[in-house]
Amino acid sequence: MDPMTFILITQLVHGLAYGMLLFLVAAGLSLIFGMMDILNLSHAYFFMLAAYIGYTIAGMTNFWVALLLAPLVVVALGMVIERFMLRKIHPFGHIPELVLTIGIGLIIMEFCKAVWGTQSLMLQTPEILSGLLNIGVFRYPLYRAFIIFFAVAMMILMGILFYKTRFGTIVRAATADADMVNALGINVPLVYTVFFGFGTWLAGLAGVVVAPFLSVFPGLADQVGFDAFVVVVMGGLGSMSGAFVGAILIGLLNSFGIQFLPTAAPLLTFGLMALVLSIKPTGLFGVRQ
């Protein structure tokens, strides 16, 4: 295989892996906005918190226990915040919500710095996934393939949850008309809390999965968080397919951009976001603003 093709394929798979990770983060963000009309600016900080907690749990036990437990910790936190904070200020419009979530983000950020320090922490890749994947002449780190596989599995799980279960039906109905669902005798506020927890869970999973891939450092939330915002905005707030397409696009743009246009890559991301927002404020697949 000639080197150029090799570089292209490597960057392609790398971009896909990063894109799928972004999808997990962005999906939670987008779903929460679509259903509850809350743009959770602290979403990326939940993601980072899960990465740190996962690092600690993995240090005590192993990666799989961390993948199971760490997201649950942030889910509990997310549900408490939704129940006791966001719900109270929801009647006052979107500006207090945005500001509140910034405040929560700042607190989580400083908490992480205080507990784990500011240095970069590398979580060991679990042994089973640490090898190289051999596809003919092409070799690729197994862990990145695992990320893609994991995100696709989560996507299928989400699909089943939304379209094949009673909870999914309620969620979709509440997104369309919350008052009507409430009138039918379903506890919509409770559904909101559980659903907020679910979105946070996705971010938490992504956080633990990212730890061996990008390492854990205080700038992680900003780095991945901004990309996730770009994804959500481009795909359209509230749209699942939009989040998917956006995530793959930004993932590829990131990996090819860094390879071929190292100076302009970060500019491209935000330029694209500004462009989409100004031409079609609802995003590529979005319906509501």
Partner 1 sequence: MIAKKSAPSWKQWVFPCLVGVILLAYPWVLGTVYTNIFIYFAIFSVFAASLNMLVSYLGVLSFGHALFYGGGAYATALFLDHIEGLGLFTVILIGGAAGAALGLIVSPLLNRVKATAFALLTLALGQLAYMACLKLRFITYGEDGVGGFPIPDLTLPGIASINMMTAENFYYLAVVVLSLCLLLMWFLTKTPFGSIMIGIRDNPDRVDFLGFNLPMTKAIVFVISGFFAGIAGAVYALFQNLVTPDGAFHIMTSFTPIMMLFVGGIGTFAGPIVGSGVMTIIEELATRYTTQIALFNGILLVLVVMYFRTGFVGLYLLIREKLFQKESS
What distance in Å separates the CA atoms of residue 151 and residue 160, rounded to the nearest whole number? 14
**Type and span of the H or E element at 129:** none
In the list 92, 149, 163, 260, the residue contacting partner 1 (rule: CB under 8 A) is 92
Residue from 231, 273, 235 nearest 19 by CA: 231
132 binding partner 1? (CB under 8 A): no
Q: CB under 8 Å to 81, separation ≥6 — which residues?
A: 42, 104
Task: Measure CA of the first residue to CA of the last residue in the chain; give whole Å.
Answer: 47
Shortest Å distance, C-beta 11 to partner 1: 20
Q: Which is nearer to partner 1, 44 or 208 (CB)?
A: 44
Could you say which of 8, 102, 160, 287 contacts partner 1 (CB under 8 A)? 102
- Residue 134: phi and psi, rounded to 5, are -105, 115
**What proportions of the chain, in percent to the nearest 5, are helix, strand and coil?**
80, 5, 20
Which of residues 7, 8, 62, 110 is near partner 1 by CB under 8 A?
A: 110
Based on CB atoms, which residue is closest to partner 1, 160 or 267? 267
Q: Binding partner 1 by CB under 8 A: which of 61, 76, 80, 103?
A: 103
Out of 226, 252, 258, 284, the only residue in the binding site for partner 1 (CB under 8 A) is 226
Judged by beta carbon, residue 123 or residue 231, the one nearer partner 1 is 231
Q: Which of 9, 72, 96, 121 binds partner 1 (CB under 8 A)?
A: 96
Residue 179 corresponds to which tokens in the numbers above? 């008052």
Number of residues that bind partner 1 (CB under 8 A): 42
Q: Which one of 20-28, 91-99, 160-168, 189-197 is the stretch in contact with partner 1 (CB under 8 A)?
A: 91-99
Q: Is position 94 an interface residue for partner 1 (rule: CB under 8 A)?
A: yes
Closest approach of partner 1 to the CB of residue 233, in Å: 5
Six-digit token string for 259 = 């390879």
Residue 238 near residue 34 (C-beta atoms within 8 A): yes
Helices and strands (H and E) in the chain: how many: 12, 2
Give the one residue of 104, 181, 221, 253 binding partner 1; rule: CB under 8 A.
Answer: 104
Cα gap 278→4, rounded to integer Å: 36
The CA–CA distances, whole Å, from 168 to 23, 69, 99, 160, 185 equal 19, 24, 30, 8, 16
Q: Which CB sits closer to partner 1, 51 or 233?
A: 233
3-state secondary structure of 147: helix
Options 137-145, 152-160, 165-173, 281-289: segment touching partner 1 (CB under 8 A): 281-289
Contact between residue 288 and residue 238 where contact means Cβ atoms under 8 Å apart: yes
Query: Min. distance of Cβ 5 from partner 1 in angstroms?
Result: 29
Which residues of this chain interact with partner 1, rule CB under 8 A?
Answer: 33, 39, 85, 88-89, 92, 94-96, 98-100, 102-107, 109-111, 113-114, 222, 226, 229-230, 233, 237, 263-264, 266-267, 270-271, 273-274, 277-278, 281-282, 289
